[in-house]
Homo-oligomer: A and B are copies of this chain.
């Protein structure tokens, strides 16, 4: 990372992290010694907030407690859509039923998903990611979620625009063959899969 920054190459961190605000996420990485700032991070929650504002959507949130502050400025009264993120311990039976009831009660259900990952690895083992729970709600309500975050093309395009770099001159580095590599390639970027993290 330091060598990339020293070389003058432009750099952006594209994360599907939705278990924490960008501030908290960046602080954690800084604490591990990484040279990173909030302004360098492209993340699903702020992208979703832009969409909610543009379309006058008021979300019912099924997200991690630590992500809620990202939606502080969003009107959440009388919801007309559901936003689902990697809610982790908040993926309870009661919370899933509640999100389902909000969706099924709409004339035309709107489901926005912060990523569509299948699973990820933590120190105590593999965990189901938001994509699995998104599929559950999609099936129950016969609706297709709008995915914000990797591997959505729009997400990579935002990151490229923020750097002012065309896709042909950019390379994506990640450990997920679909979210990182597949999404970037469909945008015209090159991509490199690292065999760390959840690689199996």
Taking Cβ atoms with an 8 Å cutoff, the residues of A that contact B are: 88-93, 96-97, 100-101, 104, 118-119, 125-129, 131-133, 135-142
Contacts and interface: CB of A to CB of B under 8 A. Distances in A.
Nearest to A94: B89
23 contacts: A88-B93, A89-B93, A91-B93, A92-B92, A92-B93, A93-B128, A96-B132, A97-B127, A97-B128, A100-B119, A100-B128, A104-B119, A104-B126, A118-B141, A118-B142, A132-B136, A132-B137, A132-B139, A132-B140, A133-B136, A135-B138, A135-B139, A136-B136
Nearest to A93: B91
Contacts of A128: 93, 96-97, 100, 136, 140
Q: Does more than half of chain A's interface fall in helix, strand or loop, or is it mixed?
A: helix
Nearest to A95: B93
Given A92-B92, A104-B119, A119-B104, A125 B138 contact: no
Contacts of A138: 135
A89 B95 CA distance: 11
Nearest to A90: B93
A100 B88 contact: no
A98 to B, nearest CB: 9
A66 B137 CA distance: 26
B139 A126 contact: no
